[in-house]
Amino acid sequence: MTSDRGTTLDAIGLEVLWNRLISVCNEQAAALIRTSFSTVLRESEDLSAGVFDARGNMIAQSVTGTPGHINSMATSMRHFLRVFPTEELVPADILITNDPWFTSGQLNDLTIVTPVFLGERVVAFFGNTCHAADIGGRGLAADARDVYEEGLAIPIMKLYERGEPNRDLFALIEENVRTPDVILGDIHAQVACNDVGGRRLLEFMDDFGLETIEDVSDQILDRSEAAMRDAFRAMPDGIYENETFSDGFLEDDPIRLACAIEVADDSIVVDFDGTSPESKLGINVVLNYTLAYTTFCFKAAVNPEVPNNEGSFRPVEVRAPPGCILNAQRPAPVAGRHIIGHLVPNLLFGALTKIVPEQVTAEGAAGIWISQMRGFDERGQFTFALFSCGGTGARPNKDGLGNTGFPSGVAGIPAEVVETVSPLILHRREIRQDSGGPGTFRGGVGQTMRVGLLSASDWIVSSQADRVRFPPRGYLGGADGAKGDFWLSDGSHVDPKLQRRLPPEAEIFLSLPGGGGYYPPLERDPDAVLQDVVEGYVSIEAAERDYGVVIRRLKDVEKLIHLPEDYDLDLAATQRLRNERACA
Amino acid sequence: MSPMKDTPSAPSAQSVRLGIDIGGTFTDLTLIDDATGELAINKSLTTPENPSLAVEEVARAGLEAAGAAAEAVHSVIHGTTLVANSIIERTGDRTALITTKGFRDALEIGREHRYDMYDLFLENPRPLVPRYLRLEVDERILSDGSVLTPLRPEEVEALAAELIENEVGAVAVSLLHSYKNDAHERAVAAVLAEIAPDLRVSLSSDVAAELKEFQRTSTTVCNVYVQGLVDRYLGELERRLRSIGIDAALLVMLSSGGVATVDTGKRYPVRILESGPAGGALAAASLGQRAGHDDLLSFDMGGTTAKLCVVEEGRPLTTPEFEVDRAYRFKKGSGLPVRIPVIDMVEIGAGGGSIARIDPLGLLRVGPQSAGANPGPACYGYGSTEPTVTDADVVLGYVDPASFLGGRMRLDIEAAREAIREHVAEPLGLDVTEAAWGIHQIVNESMASAARVHLTERGKDQRAFPIFAFGGAGPVHAYGVGSLLDSPSVIVPLGAGVGSTLGFLAAPLVFDYVRTSLERLDETDWARANSLLDEMSSEGIAVLESSGVSREEISIERRADLRYVGQGHEVSVPLPDGRLDERALPAIIEAFERVYAELYGRVAPELATEALNWRVALSGPQPPLAGGETGQEGSDSDASPKSRRPVYFNELGGYEDTPVYDRYTLPAGAQLAGPAIVEERESTAVIGPRASIEVDRLGNLTCTYD
């Protein structure tokens, strides 16, 4: 339009266009969150939304969401375009799939893609991936034996053709899921938000007189790639290895995750060779999802300011032997893929401590615990996914975060909302003392929850919980965080990942892991330990045992309130104790 | 400092109103005499150790300058950043929390959410109540309001004794599902009142009776945490004003854009958290309306941030939630949530002091980091070499180095050029002018983007909203921002008349209530809904009547937050007047679908609708804002430039010799063609070549795009 809009793609014009693209994606995601029906979307924000150029390159995405969705959505576009080449699409077509191998690794994630037309020509795609509360099958549980048990599969197909809904598909979905109103409501929200994005993009192109966004896309992608390569070039060449373990299923062998990160000049090859084979039950990870968390990891640790797009992914190559648990093959069951997938950043950070120890974190609780509960109450059938988070790993310069999701970006759900939309009752949700791994910087604390049912019928429960056998590890002298725990009101510590039917009066208990510590605990500032004792994150006993810090309570332990001045930090005794330990 | 009218006139009895705002640096005053239309402003340095000192000082000086007697003051409307600062600096009372057994950590566990996906080093907000003061009682109410475990008063008695023993000054009581049944919270309060009568107590069912324990508790804690401070301070203020002879009603400005009595302010100090910014938006709304614009976009650009707010039908839009004390100022989720109606403002890191730099992609970025006031932009000459927006504006000729702040501060243009050359121009291979234009353009673009997202999230089209520009840098950038947004026009008020304190004087007395009661509309127990609404209305009428508003002057707006059954976000919809029953249903649903379609483009008529919150907002009459007319009449022939200087306009391909006008000599009715520069003491309006300007009778510049 006017010349002051700067259409020449120099550093300034490009920044202007780039800003607008990001704001278009944020509008898309805002519309999605506000019109959605499931608690998973609206409270937990388990979604991603982004814009792609006409060739299918992801250029930008909203600031909400989780890496597992965002980065695997980027790869999914290739598969959509393979099935429906651009030239076969017409205006008002809308595509859908939940194929785990093409998208984010479980059937519950529905990806919807809408081509945007300028006249007769596709100029962009808007896509989003959302977690559906139910997709039929066994419900979202980790103990299926193949993907067919896990629910309804929707191959890449048209949800709308020339604006006409695919009524057969809608009927099929409605018939196959437990809470069709919520699921269909969310699908409508997914469709509507792509429309919002598309409209805004066309206005934007009109404002700037653009016929395509290819040029912007190429430049942003190339610059992102170059910035990542610069960062890699600054790292010492070499091969850096690490391994970590997941519980898997308690009756089986634990699962080994192994990696070798090869830094060669300006690129990285990550090889997951040595990783355990697929599990017979549903905790397997498709390559797309492994890739998503691998690229996330390098961006967060090495160059967080670089935009997350096709270009920033290019310098990272990922290899995982087919059939290993990080590259599961059809028809492996995959519903609990995040349990293993969320450990990937921990695994890679462990290797990176050898070269960039100031840029990574210790191991944390990693996987969010998704406790799936279903049954009946007077309103009919209910199914509820309770998201909860343990502590994150300590950082090289500060403590880890208590009860905060990492690497996933989802949010928890308030107890009052849980109890309003389901017959569940939360009796307790509190910080777990002594769960943060000791270190110069302490791991984040976990939490303990007690959940019951206010209904007269049986309920079915499982929790996609890990780190019950293997604690989050501390790094560089930091100690491990506390392991998780899952038990029933009859006192039995059962495998959380296996579904079980419980009588209505039964209750479940979840203790989420704390993060690992960073650097040796004997070097922690005694005042910081005192502060932790005052707040109740660390017990007086653990302060002495783990940190060599001697603290006395000056007030009757039966009292309800203990102020900071009700404790005495004995610095002389602390010094003596720490010296002894150091000599030992 | 400068009364806008020089002729003092004898004010009639009790016709003077004062608006007073305590900011971080200055305490500002606006005086208006409703009888004569006289308007005056004054300013004094804030006295942080006893803020009421500065208030006394500024009131005394203001009255003197306006030639008004203290006895003539009819009301004083007061806003302050004190409450927000007390939370940010953690200077409130030692505060405890009493909550349901098992949930004392809800305040800390929060949403379990990282507000930045890629930042491995972020921090969560620190709760105002430390863990050792978060206490539990063994009681339980369920989501339907029924009691699972009754409260035992003995347990509260034991708690109360310890609170006294440990010199706790304030207690927030927030029990699960109290928005549905407040009996237990009231019982706790009764025990505390008996055993610890000096303790300040806030109940979550009273402060923010809404679903979601984290947000409700956080709001209640914020309220009681600052209650002591606000109580002492407002009491002291009343005494001081009386001591200088002002025997007027003292009212406090609310974050929502209304005013309330001191008693309300003392009881619900959390409602005055954002009173300063609210005043700015109200001033824009009120002055805009007088200039003939009911709808506008208020645009306030200062040294570190720009604030944008949508005004519709003369009222700034409000929102039910905001955050205080953000760890990262512009990151949602990094602060303490407060569920209180607040003027819906978007604040971004774009101001005169915003720093320009090259990002890892080799692109030019501006803000959100700011050079602040010290060292400030490079051109301030305080030793900073980082280029800022103000440096670019100086290089482009928009801001005159010789007349900045009325000539009180001389700017160093060479330092500005050097900073831009070193940090932007050379790395990007541009000349200094191109680089400066880039900085100007990018900061405009980010403000325009923020405005666009803010408007579309609310279902509005930016092309319908004129921009009302103020703040030190607002008029410099408004033309560019308006051109990016395709705005119809830009209005620049006479700077002296615009500040939050003027807005205070345009605000009506208001009070609002909310109750959560989740109901499907087709199954609503209307008798219950009516009694809920009536209860809130009569409570509000009583409050307003006790503040001196007569029943006939009170207007009542009832709304419900509605959504499709199962959704998690609501849209607020006005309810019909009178008693509600199923016959009102079609009108309510229709109103819901209208708003929903406006926001999201489509409706889902096959789905049932439910109500979550029921709201009642009561307001007194809106005070008139007469006065402020320049009194000078003239024609375009009277408008002659005071000087000319080269100014950069990209549309003209470079620097153009441009006329510079003195704002204070421009007569009403004057018409100018762009490009033009109009200077006044605190700001400079930059008008590009694609617009023409008209000066109205109030001294506003209205700049219309060709």
Band of the pLDDT at A7, cuts 50, 70, 90? very low
Touching check for A314 and chain B: CB below 8 Å? no
Count Cβ atoms below 10 Å from residue B488 Cβ, excluding itself.
16
DSSP state of A130: E
pLDDT at B600 over 70: no
Chain A residues with CB-CB distance to B604 below 8 A: 185, 188
Model pLDDT for residues B431-465, shown as the tens digit of each residue: 999 999 999 999 999 999 889 888 877 777 888 89
- Distance, in Å, from the CA atom of B165 to the CA atom of B508, rounded to the nearest integer, reads 44
Structure tokens that stand for A374 in this block: 């279903």
Q: How far is CA B127 from the centre of its chain?
A: 23
Give the closest residue to B303 by CA, choosing from B363, B385, B391, B364.
Answer: B391
Closest-CA residue of A relative to B358 is A11
Q: Round to the nearest angstrom and report the end-to-end CA distance of chain A.
A: 76
Q: At what angle do helices B474-485 and B432-457 cross, to 10 degrees?
A: 70
Note whether A535 contacts B131, CB cutoff 8 Å. Answer: yes
* pLDDT value for B6: 36
Q: What angle do CA A85, A91, A97 make, to 5 degrees?
A: 55
Sign, Cα dihedral of A413, A490, A484, A564: positive
Q: Name every chain B residue with its beta carbon within 8 A of the beta carbon of A405.
A: 112-114
Q: What pLDDT is stored for residue A5 in this prediction?
A: 37
Q: Is the pLDDT of residue B378 over 60?
A: yes
Least CB–CB distance from B568: residue in A10, A31, A39? A39
- Residue A12, pLDDT score: 83
What is the predicted pLDDT for the residue at B495?
Answer: 67
Residue A340, helix vs strand vs coil? helix
CB A25 within 8 A of CB A178: no
A229 touches chain B (CB under 8 A): no
User: A30: which chain B residues are within 8 Å (Cβ-Cβ)?
Assistant: 453, 457
Nearest CA in chain A to B605: A185
Contacts of B442 in chain A (CB under 8 A): 12, 15-16, 19
Residue A45 falls in which region: left (phi positive, over 0), alpha (psi -120 to 50) or beta: left
How many beta-carbon contacts under 8 Å exist across A and B?
A: 249
| CA count, 13 A, side-chain hemisphere, B592 | 26
d(CA B578, CA B576): 7
Residue A42 has pLDDT above 70, yes or no: no
Which chain A residue has its CA at the smallest distance from B145's CA? A420
| Partner residue facing A535 (CB), from B130, B166, B567 | B130
Helix axes B585-600, A11-35, angle to 10 degrees: 160
Nearest-CB residue to B441 (from A6, A34, A304):
A6
Element (H, E) at A164: strand A164-165
- Chain A stretch 31-90, residues whose beta carbon is closer than 8 A to a beta carbon of chain B: 31, 33-39, 41-43, 45, 63, 65-67
Q: Which pLDDT belongs to residue B3?
A: 36
Structure confidence at residue A2 (pLDDT) = 33
pLDDT at B30: 87
- pLDDT band for position A6 (cuts 50, 70, 90): very low
Residue B216 has a pLDDT of 96
pLDDT digits (tens, 9 = 90+) for A116-130: 999 999 999 999 999
Q: What are φ and ψ of residue A46, in 5° steps?
A: -85, 80
With an 8 Å Cβ cutoff, are B166 and A561 in contact? yes
Contacts of B118 in chain A (CB under 8 A): 296, 299-300, 304, 308
Residue the block writes with tokens 């760890």: B327
Query: Residues with Cβ < 8 Å from A204, sequence gap 6 or more?
Result: A20, A21, A24, A210
- CA-derived radius of gyration, chain A: 25
Per residue in A269-285, pLDDT tens? Answer: 999 999 999 999 999 99
With a cut of 90, say whether residue B11 has pLDDT above it: no
Indicate the residue of A12, A406, A535 with minimum beta-carbon distance to B114: A406
Q: Which of A127-141, B192-206, B322-336, B647-661 has the lowest mean pLDDT?
A: B322-336
Chain B residues within an 8 Å CB radius of A230 = 360
Closest CB to B453 among A23, A39, A563: A23
Nearest to B311, CA basis, from B339, B334, B282, B333:
B282
**Quick check: A5 contacting B, CB < 8 Å?**
yes
pLDDT at B131: 97
CA distance linking residue B315 with residue B503, whole number of Å: 11
Q: Are B118 and A308 inside 8 Å of each other by CB?
A: yes
Interface of A with B in 146-205 (CB under 8 A): 181-182, 185, 188, 192, 195-196, 200
Structure-block tokens of residue A113: 């893609």
For chain B, give the longest Cα–Cα distance.
83
Put simply, the answer to whether A26 touches B453 (Cβ < 8 Å) is: yes
Cα distance between residue B116 and residue A65, in whole Å? 10
Task: Report the alpha-carbon distance of residue A581 to residue B136 in Å, rounded.
Answer: 39
Q: Is the peptide bond before B586 cis (omega within 30 degrees of 0)?
A: no
Mean pLDDT of chain B: 88
8 A C-beta contact, residue A271 and residue A317:
no
Paired strand residues for B701: B492, B695
Q: Are B117 and A67 inside 8 Å of each other by CB?
A: yes
Whether residue A395 and residue B483 make contact (CB cut-off 8 A), yes or no, is no
Tokens 């009752």 belong to which residue? A425
How many Cβ atoms sit within 10 Å of the Cβ of residue B84? 21
**What's residue B605's pLDDT?**
67
Q: Kindly state the average pLDDT of the residues B357-369.
A: 89
Boundaries of every domain in chain A: 3-223, 361-524, 526-583
For A223-229, what is the mean pLDDT?
95
| B455 Cα to chain A: minimum distance (Å) | 10
Q: For B184-193, write each residue's pLDDT tens digit.
A: 999 999 999 9
d(CA B505, CA B625): 7
DSSP state, residue A467: -
Range with the largest mean pLDDT of A202-216, A532-546, B267-281, B377-391: A532-546
**Cβ atoms A494, A510 nearer than 8 A:** no
* A26 close contact with B: CB closer than 8 A: yes
pLDDT at B513: 84
Cis peptide before A254 (omega within 30 of 0): no
Mean pLDDT computed over A294-309 = 92
Residue B460 is predicted with a pLDDT of: 79
| Burial tier of B276 (Cβ tally within 10 Å: 0-12, 13-18, 19+) | buried
**At A43, is the pLDDT very low, low, confident or very high (cuts 50, 70, 90)?**
low
Q: How far A412 CA sits from the closest chain B CA (Å)?
A: 5
**Beta carbons of A41 and A131 less than 8 angstroms apart:** yes
Partner-chain residue, chosen from B112, B123, B159, that has the shortest CB–CB distance to A412:
B112
Query: By the 8 A CB rule, do B251 and B319 touch?
Result: no
Q: Which amino acid is at B264?
A: T
Query: Three-state DSSP class for A129?
Result: strand
Task: Look up the pTM and report it.
Answer: 0.90
Burial label, A266 (beta-carbon count in 10 A; 0-12, 13-18, 19+): middle
User: CB–CB of A415 and B213 under 8 A?
Assistant: yes
Interface contact A356, partner B, CB < 8 A: no
Measured CA to CA, the distance from residue A131 to residue A48 in angstroms comes to 10
Average pLDDT over residues B658-673: 91
**Up-side HSE of residue A134: CA atoms within 13 Å toward CB?**
25
Q: What percent of chain A has pLDDT over 70?
A: 97
Half-sphere exposure of A289 (CA within 13 A, CB side): 34
pLDDT tens by residue, B119-129:
999 999 899 99
Give the residue with greater pLDDT, B517 vs A320: A320
Contact A63, B117 (CB under 8 A): yes
CB-CB: which of A18, A39, A404 is closest to B114? A404
Q: What are B607-647's pLDDT values in tens digits?
A: 788 898 899 988 888 777 655 555 455 554 467 899 999 99
Distance CA B227, CA B83 (A): 9
Name the β-bridge partners of A385. Answer: A372
Q: Which of A38-42, B19-23, B192-196 has the lowest mean pLDDT?
A: A38-42
Helix axes B213-243, B51-66, angle to 10 degrees: 50
Whether A40 has a pLDDT exceeding 70, the answer reads: no
Distance from A214 to chain B by nearest Cα, in Å?
18
Q: Best residue in A32, A36, A416, A537 to probe B by mutation, most B CBs within 10 Å?
A: A416
A369 DSSP β-pair partners: A388
Report the pLDDT averaged over residues B67-76: 90
pLDDT-derived band at B417 (thresholds 50, 70, 90) equals very high
Residue A541 has pLDDT above 90, yes or no: yes
pLDDT of residue B286: 85
**What does the pLDDT look like over B151-186, one tens digit per residue?**
999 999 999 999 999 999 999 999 999 998 999 999
Classify B234 as helix, strand or coil: helix
Helices (H) and strands (E) in chain B, counts: 17, 35
Taking a C-beta distance cutoff of 8 angstroms, is the pair A181, A132 a contact? no
pLDDT at B499 over 70: no
B3 three-class SS: coil
Higher pLDDT, B192 or A382: B192
| pLDDT recorded at residue B625 | 66
Pairing of β B676-679 and β B654-662: parallel
Min distance B562 CA to chain A CA atoms (Å): 12
CB contact under 8 A, B166 and A38: no
* A360 in B contact zone (CB under 8 Å): yes
- Is the distance from CB of B364 to CB of B439 less than 8 angstroms? yes
According to DSSP, the residues that pair with B554 across neighbouring strands are none
Q: Do the chains contact at A561 and B162, CB–CB below 8 Å? A: yes
Residues of chain B with pLDDT > 90: what percent? 50
Interatomic CA distance for residues A35 and B568, integer angstroms? 8
Instruction: Label residue B697 by pLDDT band (50, 70, 90).
Output: confident
How many Å apart are CA B317 and CA B310, to the nearest integer? 6
Domains and CATH numbers, chain B: 16-87+232-274 (3.30.420.40), 93-222 (3.40.1360), 276-350+443-504 (3.30.420.40), 354-436 (no CATH), 510-619 (no CATH), 636-691 (no CATH)
The letter for the amino acid at B126 is R
